[in-house]
Amino acid sequence: MSIKITLPDNSIKEFDAGVSTLDVAKSIANSLAKKAVAGKYNGQLIGLNDALSADGSLEIITKDSDEGLNVLRQTGAFVLAAAIKALHPEVRLGEGEAADDGFYYDTDREDGQLTIDQLPAIDAKMKEIIKANAPIEKISMSKADAKKAFADEPYKVQLIDEIKGDEVNGFKLGDFCDFEESVLLPNLKDLKHFKLLSVAGAYWQGKSSNPMLQRIYATAYYKEADLEEDGKRRQEAKERDHRVIGRDLDLFFVDPKVGAGLPYWMPKGATIRRIIERYIIDKEIADGYEHVYTPVLMNLDAYKTSGHWDHYRDDMFPPMDMGDGEMLELRPMNCPSHIQIFKHHIRSYRELPLRIAELGMMHRYEKSGALSGLQRVREMTLNDGHTFVALDQVQDEFKKILKLIMAVYEDFNISDYTFRLSYRDPKNTAKYFDDDEMWTRSQSMLKGAMDDLGLDYYEAEGEAAFYGPKLDIQTKTALGNEETMSTIQLDFMLPERFDLSYVGADGENHRPVMIHRGIVGTMERFIAYLTEIYKGAFPTWLAPTQIELIPVSLDQHMDYAKLLKDKMLKAGLRVELDSRNEQMGYKIREAQTQKIPYTVVVGDKEVDSAAVSVRRYGESAGEEMPANLFIESVEAEIKNYSRDGKHKRGEGQAQLDK
Whether 357 shows a pLDDT value over 70: the answer reads: yes
Cβ count near 16 (within 10 Å): 10
Decide if 261 contacts 377 (C-beta within 8 A): yes
For the domain 67-228, what is the CATH code?
Answer: 3.30.980.10
User: What's the rounded mean pLDDT across residues 546-553?
Assistant: 95
Per the prediction, the chain carries an average pLDDT of 90
Cβ atoms of 446 and 422 within 8 Å: the answer is no
pTM for this model (two decimals): 0.79
Q: How large is the average pLDDT for residues 202-230?
A: 90
Higher pLDDT, residue 439 or 52: 52
List residues bridging with 472 in a β-sheet. 420, 487
pLDDT for the residue numbered 449 = 87
Q: Is the pLDDT of residue 478 over 50?
A: yes
Architecture of the domain spanning 264-534: 2-Layer Sandwich (3.30)
For residue 650, pLDDT over 50 is answered with no
CA–CA separation, 534 vs 651, rounded Å? 7
For residue range 337-353, list pLDDT tens digits in order.
999 999 999 999 999 99
* 222 in Cβ contact with 70 (< 8 Å): no
The two beta strands, 347-348 and 327-330, are unpaired
Q: Is the pLDDT of residue 658 over 50?
A: no
- For residues 426 and 528, the model is more confident at 528
Does 479 score more than 80 pLDDT?
no
Residue 440: pLDDT band (50, 70, 90) is: confident
Q: What is the mean pLDDT of residues 13-28?
A: 92
Phi-psi region of 463 (alpha: psi -120 to 50; beta: other; left: phi over 0): alpha
The mean pLDDT of 599-606, rounded to a whole number, is 94
**Which pLDDT value is given to residue 467?**
73
Q: Judge whether 67 and 61 are in contact, CB under 8 Å.
A: yes
Which fold does the domain 2-62 belong to in CATH?
Ubiquitin-like (UB roll) (3.10.20)
Q: How many CA atoms lie within 13 A of 4 on its CB side?
A: 4
Task: Give binding residues for Zn(2+) as ranges.
Answer: 335, 386, 516
Evaluate if residue 231 carries a pLDDT over 70: yes
Q: For the chain, percent helix, then strand, then coil, each to nearest 5?
A: 40, 30, 30
Question: In 3-state terms, what secondary structure has residue 414?
Answer: coil
Give CA separation, 580 vs 203, 250, 556, 586, in Å: 47, 19, 14, 11
Where do the domains of the chain lie? Answer: 2-62, 67-228, 264-534, 540-640
Under the banding of pLDDT at 50, 70 and 90, the label for residue 646 is very low
Query: How far is the C-alpha of 331 from the C-alpha of 517, rounded, in Å?
Result: 17
What is the average per-residue pLDDT within 24-49? 93
Element (H, E) at 93: strand 92-99
Helix (H) or strand (E) holding 275: helix 267-286
pLDDT tens digits for range 142-159: 989 999 999 999 999 999
Highest mean pLDDT among 317-331, 473-487, 635-649: 317-331
The whole-angstrom distance between residue 581's C-alpha and the CA centroid of its chain comes to: 43
The binding site consists of 335, 386, 516
**Higher pLDDT pick, 650 / 57:** 57
Q: Span 521-550, mean pLDDT?
A: 95
- Which CATH number is correct for 540-640, 3.40.50.620, 3.40.50.800, 3.40.1410.10, 1.10.150.130? 3.40.50.800
379-420: per-residue pLDDT in tens?
A: 999 999 999 999 999 989 999 999 999 999 999 999 889 999
The pLDDT tens digits for 482-518 are 888 999 988 888 999 999 999 999 999 999 999 999 9
pLDDT at 20 over 80: yes
Task: State pLDDT tens for residues 562-582.
Answer: 999 999 999 999 999 999 988
Give the Cα separation of 306 and 467 in Å (integer). Answer: 9
If you average pLDDT over residues 92-117, what whole number do you get?
91
Residue 644: per-residue pLDDT: 54
